[in-house]
Structure 1
Amino acid sequence: MSSILTNTNAMAALSTLRSISSGMEETQARISSGLRVGSASDNAAYWSIATTMRSDNMALSSVSDALGLGAAKVDTAYAGMESAIEVVKEIKAKLVAATEDGVDKSKIQEEITQLKDQLTAISSAASFSGENWLQADLTAGGAALQKNVVASFVRDDQGNVSVKKVNYTLDATNVLFDTGGNTGILDKTYNVSQASTTLTVNMNGTETEVTVGAYSVDDLIADGATFDGDYANSTGALAGDYVKVNGVWVAAVDVGTTGQEVVYDDTTTKWGVDTTAVPATAVATQSVATLDLASLTSAQLDVMISAVDAALSDMTSAAADLGSIGMRIDMQEEFVKKLSESIDAGIGRLVDADMNEESTRLKALQTQQQLAIQALSIANSDSQNVLSLFR
């Protein structure tokens, strides 16, 4: 039936054209934005996931920046520590040279003074962004000595987020100078025992020089020790005080008549140990920062060399710690970059438009639109054909 009031063919053609136009708008929007899911109305689930992951990726970008800042701090501290180690090596060499007979110690002291000033300059200059890890007030405690480098941003399976950090605590084992006291590696006093000491042993009135391992006063006298070795008592443990000579414990009793400090007396053989001539323990009275050759005896100079070597060992350990932290930060930087790229790729899989597919769809929709327009034109011409019936 033909009607001039209701043209159903035109209405159908118009509806088709509208649908095609809507599809073209959607396709053109995807092509122009590059997104298949550009808003929550496109796909609420994917849009929500993508929005959250984009936010996390921005946080990771900040983590990457923080890692760069942390790496700069660690590198600065490591460079300073490495330079300080070389200077302390020079000081150790100067001390060894000072043990030579006839050497002018005042000239060596002038060189050591310059080297000490260089150590001060290195520790003061090793600062980045207002933080110096080579000198600090170790009496401050707490947060003042706790250094942190942001390492990662984490979202767990419950949706909780947290920031992970690499911690580095400043203490007497890694700070060169303690500005609040004298407990830094270079401004503290090292108590160094001699590797061995020579004692005079009296056996039936005959004195013999023997070398024994280094010991302190507390080690010298031991209650309830067990006899062993050539002079061991066959009954085993005995009560009383003992002294270890050449790895053998012997009884220690005061014998004023012989002038010896300690003695072993089994009614047949008397052992006396004279510790007056050579001290059991030698203690360094100076730190590296206060080193002054003029005030050191030959024995103290030997001990000071050991003290400087102990400081050098602590510095080497601290440099190794900084190096390991620097390596971890480098690895974390690389991981954060890869993680960020992975998140970008994951988001793309969810919301990015397939441009090949969209361009093909657009071409098809353009063809369909042309055909729909043509169909609508034909449908609209039906009313014109009705007029011809009245002619």
Structure 2
Amino acid sequence: MTSILTNTAAMGALATLRSINSGLEETQNRVSSGLRVDSASDNAAYWSIATTMRSDNSALAAVEDAIGLGAAKVDTAYAGMESAIDVVTEIKAKLVAATEDGVDKAKVQEEIDQLQDQLTSIAESAAFSGENWIQADITTTGSVTKSVVSSFVRDSSGSVSVKKVDYTLDSSTVLFDEGANATTGYGAGILDSEALFTGTDGITVSISVNGIESDEAVKGYSTDELMALTGMTFTASGSQTVATDGTDSYLQVDGEKWVLLTTTAPTTGQSVAYNDGTTDYFVDTGNTPTNVTSANAGFSVYDLDITDLATVATAMGGSFTEEDALDFMIQFVDTALSTMTSAAADLGSISTRIDLQEEFISSLTDSIDSGVGRLVDADMNEESTRLSALQTQQSLAIQALSIANSSSENILQLFR
């Protein structure tokens, strides 16, 4: 049936053309945007996931910037600590050189003074973005915690958090304490903490009992200590030197060290230590050492002075000599050096972790981008093929609609 009121063929062709135009418009949008899911109406689930992950990726980019800032702080602190270690190592070498007989300690101290000034310069300069990790006030709170952003995390429940790496500034990691005592100048830092001497005033002597040698710890005395006693005289007999004040006698056993003698053998079978021609003397092993517990030695790595060893020896205890004081200085500096090395190792570990985290975040960002792309990116090969097909279909649909519309004109031929 042919009707001039209802053209069903044209209606069908028009519907087909509309469908093709809709598909063509969708394909053109995908080609122009590169996305097959560009809005929630395209695919609500994929759009929601992609939007959330893009937001997390932006947060990771901010974390990566923060990590870079933290890395700069750590690297600056490590550079300062490493330089300080080199300087303290040099100070230790100067102290060892000062133990040699005949060395001009004043000249050595001049060199040490310069090295000590360099330590303060290093500590003050090792700051980045207003933060100094090797110089801080640790007297008020005992410690200060510094943090470096390490990651942004979204857990299975959807909660988000920022993770950090903490580094504690305390007496084992800070070189100088900005809260140091204003009067004494001593603080809680590695380089400005006052040396505390803990030990005994004893020395070890070899005692022969019934022909068997054994080492015994006895109280020691310094030459200066004996000279301070009233009526003390010193007598040399062969290779031995004895001092006496008329009541007690002392035998020189180790350079400036002396031990108390007794005329009664403390142990049966103990060999004679000294004979003055008429009387046998034995080392008084019952004269035990005195413990010295945390005595303030009056120096730190920053202000030690080898030209005033007598004062340090006195602070350590009356039986200690200047040589003992210098040995203790070397030991104290070596301990500080060990602590600094440990602190530098901690900073190095954090630096390594930060580098690994930077690499991980970079890889994670790429993985998230790739994953989001799989969900929402358009396959351009497929879309280009579909676009060509739809363009061909559109041309055919237009032609079909044209043919359908021309059928009404053909009816006029019947009325001529």
1:259: Cα distance to partner? Answer: 10
1:113: Cα distance to partner? Answer: 0.6
Paired amino acid for 2:298: T
Correspondence for 1:272: 285
Structure 1 residues 375 and 188: CA distance shift in structure 2, 3 A: same
Q: In 1, distance between residues paired with 2:157 and 2:218?
A: 61
1:104: Cα distance to partner? Answer: 1.1
1:172-321 equivalent positions in 2, closer than 5 A? 172-181=171-180, 182-192=187-197, 198-199=203-204, 210=215, 212=217, 272-275=285-288, 284-296=297-309, 297-321=322-346
Structure 1 residues 257 and 94: CA distance shift in structure 2, 3 A: closer
Structure 1 residues 50 and 140: CA distance shift in structure 2, 3 A: farther
Correspondence for 1:230: none
Identity level (%)? 64
Whether 1:384 aligns to 2:385 is no
1:273: Cα distance to partner? Answer: 3.4
Q: In 1, distance between residues paired with 2:95 and 2:294?
A: 17
Correspondence for 1:68: 68
Correspondence for 1:159: 158
CA contact (8 A) 1:135 1:175 kept: yes
- After superposition, the C-alpha distances for 1:30-65 in whole angstroms (9 at most, x for unaligned) are 000000100000000000000000000000001111
CA contact (8 A) 1:150 1:163 kept: yes
Correspondence for 1:326: 351
Paired amino acid for 1:286: F
Q: In 2, distance between residues paired with 1:329 and 1:124?
A: 24
Structure 1 residues 39 and 77: CA distance shift in structure 2, 3 A: same
1:36-75 equivalent positions in 2, closer than 5 A? 36-75=36-75
Q: In 1, distance between residues paired with 2:151 and 2:413?
A: 81
Q: In 2, distance between residues paired with 1:281 and 1:202?
A: 27
1:339: Cα distance to partner? Answer: 0.6
Q: In 1, distance between residues paired with 2:361 and 2:84?
A: 33
Which SS does the other structure have where 1:291 is aligned?
A: coil
- After superposition, the C-alpha distances for 1:112-156 in whole angstroms (9 at most, x for unaligned) are 0100000000000000010000100002438x8110000000011
1:209: Cα distance to partner? Answer: 9.6
Structure with the higher strand share, 1 or 2: 2
CA contact (8 A) 1:174 1:185 kept: yes
CA contact (8 A) 1:202 1:273 kept: no
Paired amino acid for 1:292: D
1:299: Cα distance to partner? Answer: 1.5
Paired amino acid for 2:47: W
Q: Structure 2 unaligned segments of length 5 or more: list them.
A: 181-186, 220-259, 272-281, 310-321
Paired amino acid for 1:97: A
1:369: Cα distance to partner? Answer: 0.3
CA contact (8 A) 1:81 1:315 kept: yes
Deviates more, 1:83-92 or 1:290-299: 290-299
Paired amino acid for 1:124: E
Which SS does the other structure have where 1:378 is aligned?
A: helix
Using structure 1 for the length normalisation, give the TM-score.
0.81
Which SS does the other structure have where 2:165 is aligned?
A: strand
Which SS does the other structure have where 2:163 is aligned?
A: strand
Whether 1:131 aligns to 2:131 is yes
1:95-114 equivalent positions in 2, closer than 5 A? 95-114=95-114
1:192: Cα distance to partner? Answer: 4.8
Which SS does the other structure have where 2:153 is aligned?
A: strand
CA contact (8 A) 1:197 1:211 kept: no
Correspondence for 1:227: none
- After superposition, the C-alpha distances for 1:329-368 in whole angstroms (9 at most, x for unaligned) are 0011000011111000000000000000000000000000
CA contact (8 A) 2:149 2:165 kept: yes
Structure 1 residues 279 and 201: CA distance shift in structure 2, 3 A: farther
Q: Structure 1 unaligned segments of length 5 or more: list them.
A: 215-255
Instruction: Choose the corresponding residue for 1:373, options 395, 398, 410.
Output: 398
Q: In 2, distance between residues paired with 1:257 and 1:104?
A: 36
CA RMSD of the aligned region, Å? 3.1
Instruction: Choose the corresponding residue for 1:354, options 369, 379, 401.
Output: 379
CA contact (8 A) 2:50 2:372 kept: yes
1:178: Cα distance to partner? Answer: 0.5
CA contact (8 A) 2:199 2:291 kept: no
Structure 1 residues 140 and 196: CA distance shift in structure 2, 3 A: closer
1:298: Cα distance to partner? Answer: 2.1
Whether 1:121 aligns to 2:92 is no
Deviates more, 1:191-200 or 1:38-47: 191-200
CA contact (8 A) 1:194 1:303 kept: no
Paired amino acid for 1:33: S
Whether 1:147 aligns to 2:152 is no
Correspondence for 1:228: none
Structure 1 residues 372 and 212: CA distance shift in structure 2, 3 A: farther
- After superposition, the C-alpha distances for 1:206-238 in whole angstroms (9 at most, x for unaligned) are xx9945499xxxxxxxxxxxxxxxxxxxxxxxx
Structure 1 residues 345 and 203: CA distance shift in structure 2, 3 A: closer
Q: In 2, distance between residues paired with 1:35 and 1:282?
A: 74
Paired amino acid for 1:366: Q
Q: In 2, distance between residues paired with 1:353 and 1:11?
A: 33
1:168: Cα distance to partner? Answer: 0.4
